[in-house]
Amino acid sequence: MFAASRIQTRAFSASARNLSKVAVLGAAGGIGQPLSLLLKLNPRVTDLALYDIRGGPGVAADISHVNTKSTVPGYEPTADGLAACLKDAEIVLIPAGVPRKPGMTRDDLFNTNASIVRDLAKAVAQSAPKAKTLVIANPVNSTVPICAEVFKARGVYNPKTLFGVTTLDVVRASRFVSAIKGTDPKDENITVVGGHSGVTIVPLFSQSSHPDLSSDAELVKRVQFGGDEVVKAKDGAGSATLSMAMAGARMADSLLRAAAGEKVIEPTFVESPLYKDQGIEFFSSKVELGPDGVKEILPVGKVDATEKGLLDACIVDLKKNIEKGVAFVAQNP
């Protein structure tokens, strides 16, 4: 009897774990399409729900022919379509919103993207309040606080399940360093903390196996403004989409692996105690993920004098970006 019930419990938890619905909002965009394709290739995803204000069902039909097991429904751009897309989702990724053009900062996107993210957050609060929400839409430093405010107003805010996706910053840092040092990027695990735009992006090379690099101002700047290289090269056709899709798919996979009991550490922009005494509510640092989302926020650790200066500059901008998001929801609930 005992053995049978134990087997039953194990079977249940295994099948529960085997069902992972992931929803992508903005799935037909430059990021949304390759991101959805990569998620289709992830065997941990069993139901891939795609929504966009245009083209969602088309992208879904196309990706659904890839011969992996997951189902790929595409939803109509209606309130009902959005609600059905979100229902029972374990993870919601939000790459919806306009990207930068040459000469623009991420903050220049605020006016358009703030209301897009606010409205999608309302739908998440309504239809998937327990989902892990991964915000890709820029400016991440403000769109994450926007989601938090929307969730708070609806009584569903859980700081353990709201993430700003900053994975691309560590992906870039790892690649840039390995190119300089002639090493394999998989061995270059560079910590990047702060936020996700310009000077709020702070690489901590002193903690890597190449502490000398923290004095390489050009490299630091390249990590902080790596996105601008792509915007410039695309010459008006958008910003990073393919590398971002890889980074977003990695973050989603990390959460799915953590939900399955693996120990996973990812850098991500979350509500954080690290700089709360300086009025900073959200901060990106290494975070241990667990079945419920954030398990433990790891400290920034030892930094050298150059990095301390970078962090001071980061805090000034980050504070303004966060306040801007909070004020937006207060004024435009």
Contact residue for ligand NAI among 38, 85, 124, 168 (CB under 6 A)? 168
Q: How far is the CB of 172 from ligand NAI (least distance, A)?
A: 9
Q: Is 27 annotated as a binding residue?
A: yes
Closer by beta carbon to ligand NAI, 134 or else 315: 134
- Identify whether the C-beta of residue 241 lies closer than 8 Å to the C-beta of residue 254: no
d(CA 297, CA 288): 6
Say what angle helices 167-181 and 226-234 make with each other, to 10 degrees. Answer: 90
At 83, which helix (H) or strand (E)? Answer: helix 79-86
Nearest to 250 by CA among 265, 238, 272, 270: 265
Can residue 52 be called a binding residue for ligand NAI (CB under 6 A)? yes
Tell me the β-bridge partners of 294: 289
- Identify whether the C-beta of residue 104 lies closer than 8 Å to the C-beta of residue 318: no
Contact segment (CB under 6 A) with ligand NAI among 90-98, 204-212, 299-307, 325-333 equals: 90-98
Closer by beta carbon to ligand NAI, 40 or else 196: 196
- Binding to ligand NAI (CB under 6 A) within 227-256 occurs at 238-241, 244
Q: How many residues does the chain have?
A: 333
Can residue 26 be called a binding residue for ligand NAI (CB under 6 A)? yes
Q: Is 332 annotated as a binding residue?
A: no
d(CA 81, CA 61): 16
Contact segment (CB under 6 A) with ligand NAI among 5-13, 26-34, 170-178, 198-206 equals: 26-34
Can residue 96 be called a binding residue for ligand NAI (CB under 6 A)? yes
Q: Is 194 annotated as a binding residue?
A: no
Can residue 203 be called a binding residue for ligand NAI (CB under 6 A)? no
- Identify whether the C-beta of residue 47 lies closer than 8 Å to the C-beta of residue 20: yes
Task: Encode 83-118: b = buried (16+ Cβ within 10 Å), e = exposed.
Answer: ebbbeebbbbbbbbbbbbeeeeebbebbeebbebbb
d(CA 170, CA 176): 10
Contact residue for ligand NAI among 22, 23, 24, 25 (CB under 6 A)? 25
Residue tagged active-site, from 196, 214, 219, 318: 196
Q: How far is the CB of 1 from ligand NAI (least distance, A)?
A: 51
Q: Is 201 annotated as a binding residue?
A: no
Closer by beta carbon to ligand NAI, 82 or else 294: 82
- Identify whether the C-beta of residue 198 lies closer than 8 Å to the C-beta of residue 222: no
Contact residue for ligand NAI among 21, 40, 132, 196 (CB under 6 A)? 196
Q: Is 244 annotated as a binding residue?
A: yes
**Cβ-Cβ contacts under 8 Å for 45 (sequence gap 6 or more):** 20, 21, 22, 39, 70, 252, 256
Residue nearest to ligand NAI (CB): 29
Q: Is 111 annotated as a binding residue?
A: no
Closer by beta carbon to ligand NAI, 21 or else 206: 21
d(CA 128, CA 88): 6
Q: Is-catalytic flag, 196?
A: yes
The DSSP secondary-structure symbol of 205 reads G
Can residue 113 be called a binding residue for ligand NAI (CB under 6 A)? yes
d(CA 220, CA 216): 6
> Which residues of this chain interact with ligand NAI, rule CB under 6 A?
25-26, 28-32, 51-54, 95-100, 109, 113, 116, 119-120, 136-138, 140, 165, 168, 196, 238-241, 244
Residues forming the active site: 196
Q: Which residues are annotated as a binding site for NAD(+)?
A: 26-32, 52, 113, 136-138, 244
